[in-house]
Structure 1
Amino acid sequence: MAKTATTATATEEFFAALGRRGHEPLLRRTRGTIRFDIGPAARPQRWLVTLDRGDIAVSRRGGKADCVVQADADSFEKIITGRDNGMAAYLRGVVIATGQLELLQLFQRMFAGPPESARRRGAEV
């Protein structure tokens, strides 16, 4: 069956790319697990991200995690594409996070920055 929602595709691509990274120096001091429940609460798509001193592993398993993040698909797409800030979305109640919130704060480094800041960085190079 063909995908009709580009949001799910953007989310899948984000987690696939994250898993291919393997190691991220920005997270070299970070250890823990974050479960992302994206989509409707009754049937979310789940990703479990394991962080171990910069090593990143991504799976589609559910289960316990140190931090659990819940968001609808559209809101999460805005965060991963840089059109919204993850922590700002959390403060507005668009994203619900429980557990060790400092993991989410550190992990947000993996989200794209605002599109206009990327253009400015390109102009400065």
Structure 2
Amino acid sequence: MTEATEQFFASLPARAPEILHGPVAGTLRIDISDGHSTTHWLARIRPGEIEIGQGSEGADAVWYCGVDLFDRLVTGRSQAMAALFRNESTFTGNVLLFLAFRRFFPPPPGTRDPREVAREHVRRVR
């Protein structure tokens, strides 16, 4: 498990109130494999909160990916939906849990809010 992944999971409870706005609730198990072993993370999601633990018990949804992909996701170098579409990861269960969880991943490096870009453009034009 990479240090970036450990830090990512440790940061989730503090970030949950600003990210988890909708009425989504349930348990998402994230299975991260390095090819020889698999680490199982449990994300218990409720509106405005997330509880993180480890374990392989049952969940409402299971997302499987490799350690390299997950490291790219937590550093913003890959996008979760694109990884699913490219078959780099797999998912089963309640898709709303995955859609809520992916909002925790950072945007690609250098990405800026389009509203701020537009404001800067207006300031320059004046």
**Residue identity (%):** 32
**Equivalent position of 1:99 in the other structure:** 93
Larger radius of gyration: 2
Q: How does 1:1-125 map to 2 (within 5 A)?
A: 8-19=2-13, 21=14, 23-28=16-21, 29-40=23-34, 43-118=37-112
TM-score, normalised with respect to structure 1: 0.81
Structure 1, 110-119 or 96-105: larger mean CA deviation? 110-119
Structure 1: give runs of 5+ residues left out of the alignment.
Answer: 1-6
Residue 13 of structure 1: how far off its partner (Å): 1.1
Structure 2: give runs of 5+ residues left out of the alignment.
Answer: 121-126
RMSD (CA atoms): 2.4
- Paired with 2:84 and 2:72, the residues of 1 have a C-alpha distance of 13
Residue 41 of structure 1: how far off its partner (Å): 5.8
CA shift in 2, pair 1:65/1:41, >3 Å:
farther
Structure 1, 32-41 or 52-61: larger mean CA deviation? 32-41
Read off the aligned partner of 2:54 and give its amino acid letter: R
TM-score, normalised with respect to structure 2: 0.81
